[in-house]
Structure 1
């Protein structure tokens, strides 16, 4: 695939996943501007988010701090919005820091290696940022669609909620020390007839059973586990 071409499926929405409306709230805490975002950030809402964050940056004397803990589904368009806002802030001598990423956003940032760009002191080494950010965005746009597809497969196959299907993917990824998009690719391939290894099938079944017993419980990160 040409690296300059984003996959046509990057806006794919798995069946059965309800998308909460985007809500952006800006408040001042002491001399800090804190922006709380909730809902889905995807192809239909990323532009609106970018506009709100641009405005928050313009009105803030030093930059903005983002609380993304209530963000649900997010894809490469969300990452694109955040990177553009960060670049806009840096051009005006300001910063964009993420206080709380939330589960989906945390995985997206970890997969693309972009989380350090949104931590304190991330403005250092900005000379290579345009190239780094472009490569990271391309990677996200390649890997996110298959993750969303696998999420839909789990929901349809096991009757899981969107949140529980996500927990199954993350747990299997962590327990096998396998990149999340590779786990997702294996599940999607199984739908078209590619066999899953027996030990993988057993782990998947055990994880589904565990999630059903404790629905909505956050998967625990294993010590030393490589993210994503």
Structure 2
């Protein structure tokens, strides 16, 4: 049963490889929203739709970010849109309960992890500011590399899944066994896993070229090893 004082808000939109879901409720003049998923490209648009659905009487918006598992720089645009909404409508907005990788992003860019809309966290005294800035820059560089690796892993999923399916069909093996074959072939040939998977997939096409010799040899050895 729904009352005027407690109105559920439910919405789902897909942005990028994962779905960003923003659940929530309205208690009189206070909206509590709970995003779940990833803050990647398009997440600010999903937020804009959700904010537009809020009743006009809302005077405070609280975001519980504990359900956000991953964010890249698009997450900063998400926060910027939320902050702009608060300013333009003259209402209070907060975004807290950050954890995991998103919390690390906020720490590295200097935002308050208890409420990312408060702005930068206080810096140490002048004597240590330069050292902190250098350390933060290095940590941010490492985190950017980590984000790029995650992007590549996400992009590799389809071709790896296709290669596993091909091996399951041609070698009468299970999904786990196909994964083991691909991984072992990657190690034996010193070739990235996604490159091995792409070679397997391409070789099944009408005009597909066979995998490179070192990959073919590694695949034969990995398949033979499974049969022992």
TM-score, normalization by structure 1: 0.42
TM-score, normalization by structure 2: 0.42
Which structure has the bigger radius of gyration? 2
